[in-house]
Chains A and B, each alone.
Chain A
Amino acid sequence: MNRSTIVSGDAITQVNSTTYTDVAGLYAGLDRFPGETSDQFMRRVQQASALNQGANYEGLLNQLNLLFGLSPAEIFQVSSPGTVFSFSVSVKGVVLSSGQESLSVPTWTVDSDNFWKWRLISEVVGDINKSRTFKATLLEDGPAIQMVKQANTAQVRTADVVGTTFVFNEEFVDQNSILFNVAVPNWIFSDNRSLLFDHPVPDNTVMTYRYFSCPYTVVGYPAAALSLTDPGLKDIAVTSKGQMIYQIREYLYAVALQDRSYWGN
């Protein structure tokens, strides 16, 4: 005969079952976190199916984001009323340029101990708004390290060109970036949206060009370290006095301790 036993809540632990969404996650290469419910996990799996997870910088960021279960966010929007502008972010900082003004906004400073101090996104937005031509609207604040490498320019490759007219889908095309795979007749750039040729282009003509997204919405990744996957990291890892930044030094020590091959044995 069993006597009743009372078990306190401390001895009751949360566990995941192996449920249907876990199998669906296998197709996306994702595992469910402890305590993550099926609907939360399925959202991540569905996002995985809609995101670029290729072997490039953006694909790497997306893969890391999905694995950590983090959601990138739109952090601020930048515009320049009436003008086309270029915008880029890297670990070095924010650079804006238009026909009227160029602006460079730092995203970090180095203190006396060679320690990186990342500015807030709201401070970066404030600096942009002090300019004459650029306007920025803060959407979500946080350390500026969340701003990963990005730019408001994008390239279109191998667009098919036929006949005497080509109309661009994009609004702000960089005329100087237009390249063809073959010699083409004379052309002019008309109404900022189309190319007019004086004769039909040869068969199988394709074109590559670049365009600007204006206004542009800056994307931030919540895991701060992700922006350090920027290839420009090496340029900011050393102070102006030639000393290694404190955080990078700590990181290298940690790697060296973990990786025995560093010591040659």
Chain B
Amino acid sequence: MARFNENQFNVPQFNQVEDPGAANQAAKLSKPKRSFLLQALLNYFDDADRRVREPRFSLDAQLLNPLANSIEKLEMRLDREQAVTDVMNCPINVDNFGTYFKLQVPDTYEFTAGADGVLQPPAIRVFTAEKRWKSITAYDDMLPVPSKIEVGGDPIACNSLVVYSLDGNSLKQEDSIGKISFPNYLHLKIDNLGDADQVVEVVLEGKTFPTVVSLSGQASTSETITITEESPSKTRYAWSSIDRITVWNLPVGATLRVALAPAAFGLELDPKRPAIHSAFRDLLFGRYWRLRGNLIEEAIYFNRFEKFETIQNYQCSPEWQAFALEPNTYGIFGLAGDTLVYADRREVWPDNLKTTAIYKEPLYNLNVYFDGSFDDNLRRVKIEPIGNARSGFCHRFRYTMENPAGSKFVISPEGRLIGFSAAAGWRTGSPKPVTVAVSEPGSYRFTLDSVSTEGDAFQDFAVYSNLKVEPLWTADLYSMLPAVKALVFDRYQKLWVWTGDLMIPLKITYDNFVFDPGTRSVYLTNQYTQAEIS
């Protein structure tokens, strides 16, 4: 087995920074987020009420989002509590892996209390291994921001993320995979399933992980995976060896791949945050993350005919080559060259939502959404007018746009931007959908002005949030590791990097604390030589 030279790679860490932009990590964390459940609440409105269900930041959406966030938080807590009954899904990577370092606040310390009478935590500074004092913040197990990363053990030889592939012949096929170098949950994906209305069944037989040594040995385990779509599937068990794989009904022309991580497919399911579409009330779809150029996208998977529709996308600057969703949290790890990035994967609620109500119904409402029909790195949005009852009385109209910097433009029918003036851009007739480029990250504000045949003026507004990944923490891997090709979470929810021939475990450290007002104790997430309470 390849040996890992720890002296070469596991050097002291001075190459990691919190929030490279500025000391505004707290500001980024405190920005309101759009709950994935918001669309479920918006979908309670009638199908015909497109003004509520489709625009992402309608007044209704603004009112319902705090409720959706509360439900989401509660659902996440309940989901974690419920998951403890299943050893395969129990949350492991949260709560600082279950261990803390207790610091008793001295009796002489005078606590302040909040409005509810609960004691507020003291300010904590710690003396780190890098021999510097550092102020630390409360630990958030929904989004634990790392402070340090280092090589966490011996690497494992692994020259491919795909452990097995099979071309279909519509018959029963039987094979063996053997020992799996990096025991993990397996991810299965069929490509080119075509129009065949077949149910593909895959039966795995072998040894699960962790392997056990005992006098009577380890019993063989079997698992059946039924696949009807081209979206990836995940096994229930982590596997250490597959003695037999039996595949039924894989159609001619289709290919089955079995991989150690979703990174092999460039597509990862966000299992705890399903996607909800405005057109389908009470239906949950898979929310998948994927890289496309310099964007990381959230996409909804309908079926193998409709395939994916982009829900939201985020500019990665610099461009990412790999990513992995952190289990049980809102975090995402990305890889930009040799830089490891940690960010919140929730959508930030946009700025520039200045108009809270419309006092008279406009001739047309305005809907603005991402136009995913272009393959280049320039993002575009489609501006769509939605006719109301009096839309037939529209005499003239114009679209205008305010970019994140606050500059205003008029949009031509071809999607070009023209300098704004009171008279510019007016057209007679009914507004048509138009596509316009949005090059800068931030909140764009679009306006549809219309004038009726009676001369009455109307307006509707829409805000489009042109998002980018906001790194909360980055680490330079260049001095630690060989070139990294993929990020992988293992069966114990620990992060590994794959270099193309090695799988290397990483140890994440957090510099945070948990305050227990009842015992007046502070629980640190790391061990320090000194801590300062003030």
A residues engaging B (CB < 8 A)? Answer: 1-9, 11-17, 19-24, 27-28, 32, 35-39, 41-43, 45-47, 49-52, 58, 61-62, 71-74, 148, 150, 154, 219
B84/A23 in contact, CB under 8 A: yes
B493/A39 in contact, CB under 8 A: yes
B101/A15 in contact, CB under 8 A: yes
Any chain A CB within 8 A of the CB of B103?
A: yes
Query: Within the complex, what minimum Cβ distance (angstroms) separates A39 from chain B?
Result: 4
A12/B80 in contact, CB under 8 A: no
Query: Within the complex, what minimum Cβ distance (angstroms) separates B245 from chain A?
Result: 20
A9/B533 in contact, CB under 8 A: no
B95/A38 in contact, CB under 8 A: yes
B212/A4 in contact, CB under 8 A: no
Any chain A CB within 8 A of the CB of B208?
A: yes
Smallest CB gap from B328: residue in A: A20
Smallest CB gap from B88: residue in A: A46
Smallest CB gap from A150: residue in B: B215
Any chain A CB within 8 A of the CB of B423?
A: no
B106/A5 in contact, CB under 8 A: yes
Which of chain B's residues have a CB closer than 8 A to the CB of A23? 84
Any chain A CB within 8 A of the CB of B277?
A: no
A12/B216 in contact, CB under 8 A: no
Which of chain B's residues have a CB closer than 8 A to the CB of A16? 98-100
A14/B213 in contact, CB under 8 A: no
CA distance A41 to B99 in the complex (A): 11
Smallest CB gap from A9: residue in B: B529
Smallest CB gap from B103: residue in A: A12
Which of chain B's residues have a CB closer than 8 A to the CB of A14? 99-102, 527
Which of chain A's residues have a CB closer than 8 A to the CB of B91? 20-21
Bitwise interface map of B from 247 to 283 toward A, beta carbon under 8 Å scored 1, else 0 = 0000000000000000000000000000000000000
Smallest CB gap from B521: residue in A: A15
B215/A219 in contact, CB under 8 A: yes
Instruction: State whether A24 and B532 are in contact (beta carbons under 8 Å apart), knowing that A17-B99, A17-B100 are contacts in the complex.
Output: no
The size class of the interface chain B forms with chain A is 35 or more
Which of chain B's residues have a CB closer than 8 A to the CB of A38? 92-93, 95, 97-98
Instruction: State whether A17 and B95 are in contact (beta carbons under 8 Å apart), knowing that A23-B84, A42-B492 are contacts in the complex.
Output: yes
Any chain A CB within 8 A of the CB of B48?
A: no
CA distance A24 to B122 in the complex (A): 33
A24/B87 in contact, CB under 8 A: yes
Most buried by B among A1, A9, A58: A9
Instruction: State whether A21 and B98 are in contact (beta carbons under 8 Å apart), knowing that A5-B106, A5-B533, A45-B87 are contacts in the complex.
Output: yes
A39/B97 in contact, CB under 8 A: yes
Query: Within the complex, what minimum Cβ distance (angstroms) separates B42 from chain A?
Result: 32
Bitwise interface map of B from 210 to 223 toward A, beta carbon under 8 Å scored 1, else 0 = 10111110110000
Smallest CB gap from A45: residue in B: B87
A9/B100 in contact, CB under 8 A: no
CA distance A187 to B493 in the complex (A): 56
Any chain A CB within 8 A of the CB of B421?
A: no
B213/A219 in contact, CB under 8 A: yes
Which of chain A's residues have a CB closer than 8 A to the CB of B108? 5
A20/B90 in contact, CB under 8 A: yes
Which of chain A's residues have a CB closer than 8 A to the CB of B109? 2, 5
Instruction: Tell me whether chain B's interface is mostly helix, strand or loop, or mixed.
Output: loop
Which of chain A's residues have a CB closer than 8 A to the CB of B90? 20-21, 24, 42
A8/B212 in contact, CB under 8 A: no
B106/A50 in contact, CB under 8 A: no
A58/B215 in contact, CB under 8 A: yes
Query: Within the complex, what minimum Cβ distance (angstroms) separates B424 from chain A?
Result: 60
Query: Within the complex, what minimum Cβ distance (angstroms) separates A214 from chain B?
Result: 14
Smallest CB gap from A73: residue in B: B213
Question: What are the 3 A-B residue pairs with the smallest beta carbon separation, nearest first?
Answer: A4-B534, A39-B492, A19-B98
CA distance A27 to B88 in the complex (A): 13
Query: Within the complex, what minimum Cβ distance (angstroms) separates B104 from chain A?
Result: 7
A20/B92 in contact, CB under 8 A: yes
A46/B98 in contact, CB under 8 A: no
Smallest CB gap from A10: residue in B: B529
A37/B102 in contact, CB under 8 A: no
B214/A219 in contact, CB under 8 A: yes
A37/B98 in contact, CB under 8 A: yes
Query: Within the complex, what minimum Cβ distance (angstroms) separates B139 from chain A?
Result: 10
Smallest CB gap from A72: residue in B: B213
A11/B85 in contact, CB under 8 A: no
Any chain A CB within 8 A of the CB of B231?
A: no
CA distance A53 to B533 in the complex (A): 49
- List 24 contacting pairs A-B, 8 Å CB cutoff, sorted by A: A1-B110, A2-B110, A7-B530, A9-B528, A12-B524, A16-B99, A17-B99, A17-B100, A17-B514, A19-B97, A19-B98, A21-B84, A24-B87, A27-B87, A36-B98, A39-B92, A39-B494, A43-B492, A45-B87, A50-B208, A52-B216, A61-B215, A150-B215, A219-B215
Any chain A CB within 8 A of the CB of B465?
A: no
Which of chain B's residues have a CB closer than 8 A to the CB of A35? 99
User: In residues 197-240 of chain B, which contact A (Cβ within 8 Å)?
Assistant: 208, 210, 212-216, 218-219
A71/B531 in contact, CB under 8 A: no
Query: Within the complex, what minimum Cβ distance (angstroms) separates A74 from chain B?
Result: 6
B98/A41 in contact, CB under 8 A: yes
Query: Within the complex, what minimum Cβ distance (angstroms) separates A167 from chain B?
Result: 18
Bitwise interface map of B from 106 to 133 toward A, beta carbon under 8 Å scored 1, else 0 = 1011100000000000100000000000
Query: Within the complex, what minimum Cβ distance (angstroms) separates A45 from chain B?
Result: 6
Any chain A CB within 8 A of the CB of B83?
A: yes
Query: Within the complex, what minimum Cβ distance (angstroms) separates A221 from chain B?
Result: 9
Smallest CB gap from A4: residue in B: B534
Which of chain A's residues have a CB closer than 8 A to the CB of B514? 17
Instruction: State whether A11 and B87 are in contact (beta carbons under 8 Å apart), knowing that A52-B216, A219-B213, A219-B215 are contacts in the complex.
Output: no
Query: Within the complex, what minimum Cβ distance (angstroms) separates B447 from chain A?
Result: 49
A20 contact from B84, B104, B122, Cβ within 8 A = B84
B92/A17 in contact, CB under 8 A: no
Query: Within the complex, what minimum Cβ distance (angstroms) separates A11 from chain B?
Result: 7
Most buried by B among A16, A21, A62, A71: A21
Any chain A CB within 8 A of the CB of B96?
A: yes
Smallest CB gap from B125: residue in A: A4
Smallest CB gap from A62: residue in B: B214
Any chain A CB within 8 A of the CB of B285?
A: no
CA distance A50 to B221 in the complex (A): 10
